[in-house]
Chain A
Amino acid sequence: MNIDKKTIQEMAFWVRVRIPDDEAEVMAKDFTETLTWMGERLKSPELQNVPPMVSPFDEPILIRKDEVTDGDKREAVLKNAPEGATDEFFAVPKMVE
């Protein structure tokens, strides 16, 4: 699989970080190498009928009764809010629709 600098930049945007062009170049090259050898190993016929292991956890999903047991703690929720927040709301730069 070939990853180019443009793809790296796209992925950086997906996770909302920036990467300078020269670093992206290097990362693209290294990552392509990594993906190549990993790709080989991960195509092993041994994996054919093996189920994927999502987690070591094997118990049933925990189900909660429908009751209001939380909330009503606006002060705590807003405690660490960055500047611009009011007593009631979080604030971020204006969002375009």
Chain B
Amino acid sequence: MTYRIQGQRQEWELICGLEVHCEILSKSKVFSGASAEFGGDPNTHVAFLDCGMPGQLPILNEKCVEQCIKTGMGLNAKINAYSVFDRKNYFYGDLPTGYQITQLFYPIVGEGYLDVTDEDGQTKRIGIERLHLEQDAGKSIHDMHPTQSYLDFNRAGVGLMEIVSKPDIHSPEQAGDYLRRLRSIVRYLGTCDGNMDEGSMRCDINVSVRPVGEEGFRHRVEIKNVNSVKFVMQAIDLEAHRQVSLYDAGKDFPQETRLFDAAEMETRPMRSKENALDYRYFPDPDLPPLRLTQDYIEDIRAHLPELPAAKKERYMAQLGLPEYDARILTADKETAAYFERAYKGRDAKKVANWIMGDLFGMLNKECLSIENSPVRPEDLGALIDLINDGTISGKIAKEVFEIMFETGKSPAVIVEEKGLKQVSDTGAIEQMISDILAANMDKVAEIKAGKDKLKGWFVGQVMKASQGKVNPALANQLLEKKLGEM
């Protein structure tokens, strides 16, 4: 169902664009040599530049440039060989120099796109307007003192990538998928850790609505700093409905900035006096323009890791995995890496099943991420090999897996220690079967009379008698033989 908002007299559609700020993964800040690491004791990751001392000058960090280019490539975007740094001027406590160094006129990355799955399961292309490099602001803390706000500039000057989408998003689902995929891409590329709850990825949402069929854009509202995918989707839905209600009541509303209050489930205006602010952008005279050579750009492209979309296609086309599996396994870099190490030419579907079923199940129970899995991917692969070559049965394998998870030991060691090797000695099995058959002649008679289903019961008994160590396929085969002889 295409997302629509039901108004009093007509249906409305949503026009939405997202501006996502991603903190760049780098050791030091974009224009100073202070650490860009998250956290740290207050004001210890601060160079004199980062607290706005006089006479301080910005020096560009090459890693931040590289990360922007990589991310741009992940978004199928044009890398601009020429870009300029501008000053964006405003006053706020967390802004140490009274201006932010950003890129307005000539950003480092131009137009691109990101394909998402919309609420109808269809692929939709969301255009990317630009990606530019800028400084993050510091943090202000308002609850440590009754009349003062405290300022911590650890985060001031950390590199940010601002990714601006075109207003191509038309439903909360599309917005949610856009964010999930964007997060996945930056994590795959190692350009941002995508932690929305730590604030390393923040989203500003632009929302407007219009009656279905109307051309042009109406007033839009910006919702600032929403820090989870769920909240983004909720905020969009709430705001879209709010706007439609206002229009239905014959009221208009100003282009303004609002905040999303998750507790109250509403958006409310920011108490900011400077709504129609002129930021007085102009090129920063402390920084010459950035000129990139084609060689430099292509070298980065050559070393780019495989991106999730391409990887998913490959899993489907070359490994024969169904779309669902491919999507789950490529959702994040760590899962894909784990899968590839466990797969190594084995049966892809079997590996996929073990990961998506057993492994994920146990990881979730213990609240562990796949990077911290006690079971190494190579060991999972080895476990599957043991099933394939008949050393253990599928059922025993599940037991072994649990022990692998608990102890981190390899499957071979566990099988050996616990004596779990499958019994494949035909003679022994035949004897076991004979014994069971002899003890249950009535059931044998029923099978002879046509009740084939009871064969399964006999196999079950064999498994029970052997504590599951008999290879069920072999048990079946031998049972058939024995019954045939009777």
* Residues on A facing B (Cβ under 8 Å): 14, 16, 54-55, 57, 59-74, 76-78, 84, 86, 88-97
Q: Which single member of B43, B50, B148, B283 contacts A84 (CB below 8 Å)?
A: B148
Known A64-B59, A97-B270; further 19 A-B contacts with Cβ < 8 A? A55-B288, A59-B288, A64-B33, A64-B62, A66-B28, A67-B27, A70-B33, A71-B34, A71-B45, A71-B46, A78-B43, A86-B150, A88-B42, A89-B42, A89-B43, A89-B141, A90-B151, A92-B148, A95-B142
For residue B89, which residues in chain A have a CB less than 8 angstroms away from its CB? 14
Closest to B273 in A: A13
CB of B65 within 8 A of CB of A63, answer yes
Q: Which single member of B47, B60, B151, B288 contacts A71 (CB below 8 Å)?
A: B47
B215 vs chain A, min Cβ distance (A) = 35
For residue A74, which residues in chain B have a CB less than 8 angstroms away from its CB? 41-44, 46
B305 CB–A CB distance under 8 Å: no
B291 CB–A CB distance under 8 Å: yes
Residues 45-62 of B at the A interface (beta carbon under 8 Å): 45-48, 50-51, 59-62
Q: A16-B91, A71-B46 are in contact. Are A60 and B62 (CB under 8 A)?
A: no
For residue A72, which residues in chain B have a CB less than 8 angstroms away from its CB? 35, 44-45
Interface size grouping (class) on chain B: 35 or more
Could you tell me the distance between the alpha carbons of A61 and B81 in the complex, rounded to whole angstroms? 13
Could you tell me the distance between the alpha carbons of A83 and B370 in the complex, rounded to whole angstroms? 49
B278 CB–A CB distance under 8 Å: yes
CB of B28 within 8 A of CB of A68, answer yes
Q: Which single member of A55, A57, A91 contacts B151 (CB below 8 Å)?
A: A91
Closest to A89 in B: B150
Some 19 contacts from A to B, beta carbons below 8 A apart, are: A14-B89, A60-B288, A61-B289, A66-B62, A67-B27, A69-B28, A70-B47, A71-B35, A71-B50, A74-B44, A77-B43, A78-B43, A86-B150, A88-B42, A89-B151, A89-B152, A90-B51, A90-B150, A96-B271
CB of B149 within 8 A of CB of A69, answer no
B142 vs chain A, min Cβ distance (A) = 6
A1 vs chain B, min Cβ distance (A) = 15
Q: A61-B287, A69-B33 are in contact. Are A88 and B270 (CB under 8 A)?
A: no
B316 CB–A CB distance under 8 Å: no
* Residues on B facing A (Cβ under 8 Å): 26-28, 32-35, 41-48, 50-51, 59-65, 89, 91-93, 140-142, 144-145, 147-153, 259, 270-271, 278, 280, 283, 285, 287-291
Could you tell me the distance between the alpha carbons of A56 and B91 in the complex, rounded to whole angstroms? 29
Could you tell me the distance between the alpha carbons of A72 and B147 in the complex, rounded to whole angstroms? 28
CB of A91 within 8 A of CB of B145, answer yes
Which of A14, A57, A71 has most chain B Cβ within 10 Å?
A71
B83 vs chain A, min Cβ distance (A) = 10
Could you tell me the distance between the alpha carbons of A64 and B57 in the complex, rounded to whole angstroms? 13
For residue B43, which residues in chain A have a CB less than 8 angstroms away from its CB? 74, 77-78, 88-90
B248 vs chain A, min Cβ distance (A) = 30
Could you tell me the distance between the alpha carbons of A14 and B149 in the complex, rounded to whole angstroms? 22
A80 vs chain B, min Cβ distance (A) = 9
For residue A92, which residues in chain B have a CB less than 8 angstroms away from its CB? 93, 148-149, 151
Which of A63, A74, A77, A89 has most chain B Cβ within 10 Å?
A89
For residue A94, which residues in chain B have a CB less than 8 angstroms away from its CB? 142, 145, 147-149
CB of B288 within 8 A of CB of A61, answer yes
A65 vs chain B, min Cβ distance (A) = 6
Q: A84-B148, A86-B150 are in contact. Are A14 and B45 (CB under 8 A)?
A: no
Closest to A59 in B: B288
Could you tell me the distance between the alpha carbons of A66 and B190 in the complex, rounded to whole angstroms? 15
Could you tell me the distance between the alpha carbons of A19 and B34 in the complex, rounded to whole angstroms? 39
Closest to B84 in A: A54
For residue B91, which residues in chain A have a CB less than 8 angstroms away from its CB? 16
CB of B46 within 8 A of CB of A95, answer no
Closest to B62 in A: A63
Closest to A86 in B: B150
For residue B41, which residues in chain A have a CB less than 8 angstroms away from its CB? 74, 88
Could you tell me the distance between the alpha carbons of A76 and B47 in the complex, rounded to whole angstroms? 10
B279 vs chain A, min Cβ distance (A) = 10
CB of A55 within 8 A of CB of B285, answer yes
Could you tell me the distance between the alpha carbons of A64 and B89 in the complex, rounded to whole angstroms? 25
CB of B46 within 8 A of CB of A77, answer yes
A70 vs chain B, min Cβ distance (A) = 4
Could you tell me the distance between the alpha carbons of A7 and B280 in the complex, rounded to whole angstroms? 14
For residue A70, which residues in chain B have a CB less than 8 angstroms away from its CB? 28, 32-34, 47
Closest to B148 in A: A91
For residue A64, which residues in chain B have a CB less than 8 angstroms away from its CB? 28, 33, 59-62
A95 vs chain B, min Cβ distance (A) = 4
Closest to B154 in A: A71
CB of B60 within 8 A of CB of A61, answer yes
Q: A68-B33, A92-B93, A95-B142 are in contact. Are A63 and B283 (CB under 8 A)?
A: no
